[in-house]
Structure 1
Amino acid sequence: MVFYFIGLGLSNPEDISVRGLRLVQGAKRVYLEMYTAILMASQEEIEKTYERKVILADRTMVEQESDIMLENADKEDVCFLVVGDVFAATTHSDLVLRCKEKNVPYEVLHNASIMTAVGCCGLQLYNFGETVSFCFWDDSWQPDSYYDKIVKNRKLEYHTLCYDIKVKEQTIQNLMKGNNIFEPPRYMKTHEAAQQLLDIIERVRAEGEVSRETQCVAIARVGAKDQKMASGTLEELAKIDLGAPLHCFIVTGKLHPMEEEFLAKLLSQES
Structure 2
Amino acid sequence: MLTFVGLGLFDKTDISEKGLRCIREADHVFLECYTSLLMGSSREELEEYYKKPVLPLFREDVEQHPDNVLRLAQEGDVAFLCAGDPMVSTTHADLRMRAGALGIRTAIIHGASISSAVCGLSGLQNYRFGKSCSLPFPQKNWFPTTPYEVIEKNLTQNLHTLVYLDIQNNRYMTIPEAVSLLDQMAAAKGTAIPLYVGIARAGSDAPVVRAGKGSILADVEFGPPLHILIIPAVLHDMEREYLEMFAGL
Q: 1:206 corresponds to which residue? A: 190
Question: Unaligned stretches of 5+ in structure 2?
Answer: none
Match of 1:197 among 156, 163, 182: 182
**Matches of 1:152 and 1:127 in 2, distance apart?**
13
**Matches of 1:152 and 1:229 in 2, distance apart?**
25
Contact 1:36 1:165 in 2 (8 A): no
Question: Unaligned stretches of 5+ in structure 1?
Answer: 168-183
TM-score under structure 2 length normalisation: 0.95
* Aligned residue type for 1:90: T
**Matches of 2:113 and 2:9 in 1, distance apart?**
6
Q: 2:125 corresponds to which residue? A: 124
Q: 2:31 corresponds to which residue? A: 32
Query: What's the offset of the Cα at 1:56?
Result: 0.3
Q: 1:186 corresponds to which residue? A: 171
Deviations 1:197-244 (A, max 9, x none): 111223x2101xxx25x1210000000112111011122112223011
Deviations 1:57-84 (A, max 9, x none): 1111111111100114233111000110
Q: 2:143 corresponds to which residue? A: 142
**Matches of 1:72 and 1:9 in 2, distance apart?**
25
* 1:114-263 pair list within 5 angstroms: 114-119=114-119, 120-167=121-168, 184-202=169-187, 204-207=188-191, 211=192, 214-263=194-243
3-state SS in 1 of match to 2:181: helix
3-state SS in 1 of match to 2:75: coil
**Matches of 2:124 and 2:155 in 1, distance apart?**
14
**Matches of 1:128 and 1:149 in 2, distance apart?**
12
Residue identity (%):
38
Q: 1:21 corresponds to which residue? A: 20
Contact 1:85 1:111 in 2 (8 A): yes
3-state SS in 2 of match to 1:74: helix
**Matches of 2:243 and 2:126 in 1, distance apart?**
15
**Matches of 1:198 and 1:23 in 2, distance apart?**
45
Query: What's the offset of the Cα at 1:139?
Result: 4.1
Deviations 1:114-164 (A, max 9, x none): 111111211111111110111212442211121111000001000100022
What root-mean-square deviation, in Å, do the aligned CA atoms of Structure 1 and Structure 2 show?
Answer: 1.3
